[in-house]
A and B are shown apart, each in its own frame.
Chain A
Amino acid sequence: MSRKIVVTGIGATTPLGGDAQSTWRALLAGESGISTLEQPWIEKYEVPVTFAGQAKVAANQILTPQEAKRLDPSSQFALIAAREAWADAGKPDVAPERLAVEFATGIGGVWTLLDAFETLQERGPRRVLPMTVPMLMPNGPAAAVGMDIAARGGVRTAVSACASSTEAVANALDRLLSGAVDVVVAGGCEAAIHPLPISAFAAMHALSKKNDTPASASRPYDVNRDGFVMGEGGAALVLETEEHALARGAKIYAELAGGAVTSDAHHITAPDPEGTGAARAVIAALKQAEASIQDVVHINAHATSTPVGDIAEYVALKRVFGDHLQNIVVSATKSSTGHLLGGAGAVEAIFTILALKERVAPPTLNLDDQDPEIVLDVATSPRKLPDGPILAISNSFGFGGHNAVVVFRSYEG
């Protein structure tokens, strides 16, 4: 008997909104979450990139001061998103031992680490706060979420750069399919709008330098794309077995039908130009979903707006879908949100789920002049998706040669 896994709750805090629905509405409305940074450190360090996608609603407006004090900003976003998703799912009544967390981050508690080093330098080791270690560790967000919902079925953190939270969703699927647990809160977060990561990403020419036009800087597939735009926030999904969801009368957004992870072993940062690793991930995820390529009507692409990355993903998709690719509506939502790194996959999983549920592919901003080498049908305004059972995939790729793909299927109750 094959077991189905379904999505019963969503939550997000992003540059577009403080919750999943307002994020989605802003996305459909074609809003940009990207703006010029006003922080004093921009000038102090002469940071070469002066804009990013900051969380629309600051975490300290949601959490109590004592909660915020003990959590790195990345964990704060995780907790906010997870609480929303958990409430949205109706706070499932599940034995703690049957409840797990898969919560990812790309970088971890970088603010905590660097603040603590500043304290050490300026005031000595005695003044380094004892909460520093639990706040900076990459599993901090997962642990915070796990404690909040009393998950005792395992709390884990996938760390695979910008593929992290798609990998977390794929890992959640495995745990649910294996029968180990009944419910998993899966997601990802990132809070790296800090002068050091910005400088480091800029040093490798990964970031857009369109400082004068922040809202149109993230332009996936456009001939004038010049790099990604950093974003921050978090997103979470409540995933559970269909059996468990139906037994408690939960609302169901979509089915998580497949997930796969592969690796390139090609280059530490550059994507494999042949796209074979990414293609294998798509094929494996579709196979797990027992789907054919013709079933796929929508792709939420990784599409970060880097010159080489967008092409490499296209090559991989072409390899998998061939001529059918022209029938698939592609959305590159980082054009609105920026790139949430370890949080990106979870945000985009939510977009993919809502696209299936509401039968609309969200728009891609700033695509004024599509790269002739990238032959994709990109939605530049909200695009109707077909009725009946449909399938969509969400891709994420990360430095290190990580490829992660998840497949969602529309759910007919």
Chain B
Amino acid sequence: MALSQSEVLAGLAEIVNDETGISADAVALEKSFVDDLDIDSISMMTIVVNAEDKFGVKIPDEEVKNLITVGDAVNFIVGAQD
């Protein structure tokens, strides 16, 4: 059963917190991974791989550059679920 946008956001926030120590509350839809959350490309790739595991989706490398904000990632994951 597919997860809702808020469920994916909560799960993604947990992954971001685990990787970077950024408070899960700070991981909001409108936040930019690079400009607001100061997440570097290495952490971003780790987050992507962990998100693939957690949500059972595939996030192609060429898609990652389009995931500017947390909302972009959440929406991609929601849409990629079966």
- Report whether over half of chain B's contact residues are helix, strand or loop; otherwise say mixed: helix
Contact of B21 with A126 in the complex, beta carbons under 8 Å? no
- Interface residue A130 (Cβ < 8 Å from any Cβ of B): yes
Chain B nearest CB from A120 CB (Å) reads: 13
Contact of B21 with A65 in the complex, beta carbons under 8 Å? yes
**Complex alpha-carbon distance, A66 and B40, angstroms:** 13
B80 proximity list for chain A (CB < 8 A):
none
- Interface residue B42 (Cβ < 8 Å from any Cβ of A): yes
B53 proximity list for chain A (CB < 8 A):
127
- Interface residue A95 (Cβ < 8 Å from any Cβ of B): no
Interface flags, B1-20, vs A, CB<8A=1, else 0: 00000000000000000111
Contact of A66 with B42 in the complex, beta carbons under 8 Å? no
A129 proximity list for chain B (CB < 8 A):
46, 49
Contact of B20 with A131 in the complex, beta carbons under 8 Å? no
Closest Cβ neighbor of B42 among chain A residues: A130
**Complex alpha-carbon distance, A131 and B45, angstroms:** 9
Which residues B1-57 have CB closer than 8 A to chain A? Answer: 18-21, 41-42, 45-46, 49, 52-53
Chain A nearest CB from B28 CB (Å) reads: 20
Chain B nearest CB from A410 CB (Å) reads: 44
Chain B residues within 8 Å of chain A by Cβ, number: 11
Contact of B21 with A130 in the complex, beta carbons under 8 Å? no
Contact of A66 with B49 in the complex, beta carbons under 8 Å? no
- Interface residue A205 (Cβ < 8 Å from any Cβ of B): no
- Interface residue A248 (Cβ < 8 Å from any Cβ of B): no
Closest Cβ neighbor of A66 among chain B residues: B21
Which residues A119-139 have CB closer than 8 A to chain B? Answer: 126-127, 129-131, 134
Which residues A145-181 have CB closer than 8 A to chain B? Answer: none
Chain B nearest CB from A144 CB (Å) reads: 14
Category for how many chain A residues contact B: 10 to 19
Of the candidates B21, B42, B45, B52, the one whose C-beta lies within 8 Å of that of A64 is B21
B41 proximity list for chain A (CB < 8 A):
130
A65 proximity list for chain B (CB < 8 A):
18, 21
A131 proximity list for chain B (CB < 8 A):
42, 46
Chain B nearest CB from A220 CB (Å) reads: 43
Contact of B46 with A130 in the complex, beta carbons under 8 Å? yes
- Interface residue A194 (Cβ < 8 Å from any Cβ of B): no
Contact of B49 with A69 in the complex, beta carbons under 8 Å? no
Chain A nearest CB from B64 CB (Å) reads: 11
Closest Cβ neighbor of A133 among chain B residues: B42
List 17 interface pairs A-B (beta carbons < 8 Å), by A numbering. A65-B18, A65-B21, A66-B19, A66-B20, A66-B21, A69-B19, A126-B49, A126-B52, A127-B49, A127-B53, A130-B41, A130-B42, A130-B45, A130-B46, A131-B42, A131-B46, A134-B42
Interface residues of A (CB under 8 A from B): 64-66, 69, 126-127, 129-131, 134
Besides A130-B45, A130-B46, A131-B46, 17 other A-B contacts (C-beta < 8 A):
A64-B21, A65-B18, A65-B21, A66-B19, A66-B20, A66-B21, A69-B19, A126-B49, A126-B52, A127-B49, A127-B53, A129-B46, A129-B49, A130-B41, A130-B42, A131-B42, A134-B42
